[in-house]
Structure 1
């Protein structure tokens, strides 16, 4: 896009002015690094996120797992099916509530945690940021997410 001499100092419709594009580009770049790092584990980035939640929280209903990941069941179910086929998780109807499906790590899924421990360190190294910079960025991104969630909720029809 060419700018004219009388163009404003900041053209808010320029691609390089869009925070959403910067976040999207960073997400794609992360995806490329994760793809390489997770290849040895035999899982994809979305599957890795599922495993992170299960390693942290243990057995969970699908609904609760989806809440942690901000995913609906239509997106989560195929991920869980592939993880189950790989022998990393089991899905079972809850004994307490037949409508609920519990997701449990298998012994192989639990053992994978140790092999995955190097992933966050290698990601941190790839960013070139120190631990404090990563914490600050994560905090700011969490604040951004909360602000955008609130904005979306307030603009939805009642």
Structure 2
């Protein structure tokens, strides 16, 4: 086995798969007026409703420099608000607006649309998600705190 062949690398098929799957989300999310990264933010907020930028960054594994422009765009769309915490002005709190919360109803079909677009079953999607999540968890445990 040649170790430095592209076909023998773990990173490349994961990278290419991520790009391909993300591209399948684009036309579906366009109907919601969201980009893929904005959709990820909204998924967390639909679950949490209100949290700090730091907490959101931890959930999405993104730094505040990446999150800030995303949050600004979502605020311009009236999907969320950003306010400074009264207890600690360094903390910025993110909260869904009624418009942002109502968008969740429109997004309920996204997972099914993705399965149809990718032509995979719910079992296949669940199996891939579990495998990827398990690997991600292992990698996160390897990183220094």
Q: TM class, shorter-chain normalised?
A: over 0.9
Shift of 1:152: 4.3
Q: What is residue 108 of structure 1 aligned with on the other side?
A: 99
- Give the aligned length: 145
Q: What is residue 84 of structure 2 aligned with on the other side?
A: 93
Q: What is residue 56 of structure 2 aligned with on the other side?
A: 65
Flag the structure with more relative contact order, 1 or 2, with Cα contacts below 8 A and sequence separation at least 6.
2
Q: Within 5 Å, give how 1:129-148 maps onto structure 2.
A: 129-148=120-139
**Structure 2 residues not aligned, in runs of 5+:** none
Q: What is residue 16 of structure 2 aligned with on the other side?
A: 25
Between Structure 1 and Structure 2, whose CA radius of gyration is higher?
A: 1
Shift of 1:125: 2.0
Shift of 1:91: 0.2
Q: What is residue 80 of structure 1 aligned with on the other side?
A: 71
Secondary structure, aligned partner of 1:91: strand
Greater CA deviation, 53-62 or 93-102? Answer: 93-102
Greater CA deviation, 126-135 or 107-116? Answer: 126-135
Shift of 1:76: 0.6
CA RMSD of aligned residues (A): 1.5
